[in-house]
Structure 1
Amino acid sequence: MNKYRKDRNYFLSYFNINIVVFLTLNLLLLFAKKSFFDFNFSLELLLLIPVGCVFGLVVATAFHNASHGNIKPKTLNTIVGEFCGAFALDGMRNFRVGHMLHHIHADDEENDPHPPHGLSFLEFIKTSKDRTIQVLIREYYKHHGQTRESERNIELQLLSYKIGFLLKVTFWFLLFGPALFLLFYIPAFASYFFGFAHLNYISHGMNEDGESEVLNHDGGIFYSVMNFLTSGGYYHKNHHKYPKLYNPSRLDKLESHSNSKFRVYNPS
């Protein structure tokens, strides 16, 4: 956060580096591979769909924890975070800043990048990206001033981000080829995207007094499986209290259930 607040080109330089890196990788793949559109289908390839879905949740979990510096040794946070960011068609640097703002301003209607209150799940999905961008822009102007130079910087950031997005999509298609891209990468990306969205949507609710409350979720087949695959990701209230814990479900569940600081939601 401090670098983002002090360096007006913190995002722009990062997005431009992404463009250079993925443009170079794409050119290398174009020279190295002879064909990119051969689609050799077999029934066995359908097994890649569930594998991709699981991998997408693993990517979401690792990406999230890397943004908090929870992977040991510390140098792995950048490596894992950048890989996961590229796989998610995003970037470690901007994801980390946006996520830190979510922790600082959780459920704040103005400053939280993705408050879910009053929205259906589909509305939450549709608005979260644009709202995150708006919050980051507002934060940028707060520290660097809303001058013409700053507005131009924001315009270049958005353009560079979109170019990088397209280059990353191209990279994964060229790397995997049509069959793996369709049957592995797309399910993995969908699992990452919707898994992350659902976790954030369902874990921010209202208590009996109508006040915002971050929730833990466990119990039942769905949450048991999802907590296993996401390293306790649905223990979201625990995570907000202890963000440096890779697996927040490891807190004493009896304490979490009995202590008023934690409320575990059990759908059964």
Structure 2
Amino acid sequence: MNKYKKDPNYFLDYFINNIFIFSILIVALILIKNDYFSFNITGLSFLLIPVGLLLGLVVATAFHNASHGNIRPRILNTVVGELCGAIALDGMRNFRVGHMLHHIHSDDPILDPHPPHGLTFIEFIKTSKNKTISVLISKYYEYHGDTSSSRSNIEKQLICYKFSVVLKLVFWFLLLGPIGFFFFYGPTFLTYFLGFAHLNYISHGLDDKGDEVMFNHDGGVFYTFMNFMTAGGYYHKNHHKYPGLYNPKRIDLLVSNKSEKFKISDQQTT
């Protein structure tokens, strides 16, 4: 966050570097590989789908924790974060800043990048990306001024960001081929995106008084399975209280949890 506040080119330089790196990778794949469009479907091709679906949940978990610096040794946060960011068609740098703003301004209808209140799940997934971009732009103007230079920088950021997304799609298609892209990468991205969206949508709500609250979800087949695959990701209330814990279900690992004062005892089981 501090670098985003101080450096007006913090995102722009990053997106340009993404374009440079993935352009090189694409050229290398074109030179190395001979066949990019072979589409020979076999029975094994369909086995890639469930593997991809499971991997997407792992990617979401690792990407999220890397943004918090929860992976050890710490150098792996950048490595894992950038790899997961490439799979997610996003970037570690902008994801981290947006996610930190979510933690700072949780459920604020203006400042939270993706507040779910008053939206259906479909509306939430359709608007969350643009809402996040809008919040980041507002913060950029707050930090660096709403000037012609800032507006030009934002325009360049958006162009470079969108171009980097296209390059990442091309990279995965060339690397995996049509079968791997549609039967493996597609399902991976699907569960990454929908898993993240569902977790955030279902974990923020309103109580009987209309006040914003967060929930932990566990129990039953669905939440038991999802907490297993996402390292306790649906313990979202715990996560907001202890963002430095890789698995927020395991608050028993915290030294502070030995004191009743710090315990979270109102876990919601759904």
TM-score, length of structure 1 as denominator length: 0.96
Cα deviation per residue 1:155-181 (whole Å; 9 max; x = unaligned)? Answer: 000000000000000000000000011
Contact 2:102 2:113 survives alignment (8 Å): yes
Aligned residue in 1 for 2:108: 108
Could you report, residue by residue, the CA deviation over 1:55-105 in whole angstroms, capped at 9, with x for unpaired residues? 000000000000000000000000000000011000000000000000000
State how far apart, in whole Å, the 1-side matches of 2:9 and 2:266 are: 41
2:268 is matched with which residue?
Answer: 265
Residue 262 of structure 1 deviates from its aligned partner by 4.9
Q: Does 1:199 align with 2:202?
A: no
Residue number in structure 2 paired with 1:56:
56
Alignment RMSD, CA only? 1.6
Give the aligned residue type for 1:15. F
The AA in structure 2 aligned to 1:70 is N
What stretches of structure 2 of length at least 5 have no aligned partner? none
- Match in the other structure for 2:124: 124
Q: Which residue of 2 aligns with 1:150?
A: 150
Query: What is the deviation of 1:252?
Result: 4.1
- Aligned partner of 2:219 in structure 1 is 219
Shift of 1:261: 4.9
The alignment covers a number of residue pairs equal to 265
Residue correspondence of structure 1 range 49-198 to structure 2 within 5 A: 49-198=49-198
Describe the SS at the equivalent of 2:249. helix
Give runs of ≥4 in structure 1 deviating > 6 Å: none
Q: Distance in 1 between matches of 2:129 and 2:177?
A: 28
The C-alpha deviation readout for 1:198-250, integer Å capped at 9, x for no partner, is 00000001112210001100010000000000000000000000000000011
- How far did 1:45 drift? 1.6
Measure the CA separation in 1 of the matches of 2:71 and 2:263: 30
Moved more, 34-43 or 187-196: 34-43
CA contact (8 A) 1:215 1:237 kept: yes
Aligned-pair CA distance for 1:265: 2.3
Provide the C-alpha distance between the structure 1 equivalents of 2:23 and 2:82, rounded to a whole number of angstroms. 16
Q: Counterparts of 1:117 and 1:93 in 2: how far apart (Å)?
A: 27
Unaligned 5+ segments in structure 1 are none
Aligned partners of 2:204 and 2:212 also within 8 Å:
yes
> Cα 1:43–1:126, aligned 2, differ >3 Å: closer, same or farther?
same
Residues 67 and 95 of structure 2 are in contact (CA less than 8 Å); yes or no, is this contact kept in structure 1? yes
* Distance in 2 (alpha carbons) for counterparts of 1:262 and 1:126: 34
Conserved? CA contact 1:216–1:262, under 8 Å: no
> Could you say which residue in structure 1 is the equivalent of 2:243?
243
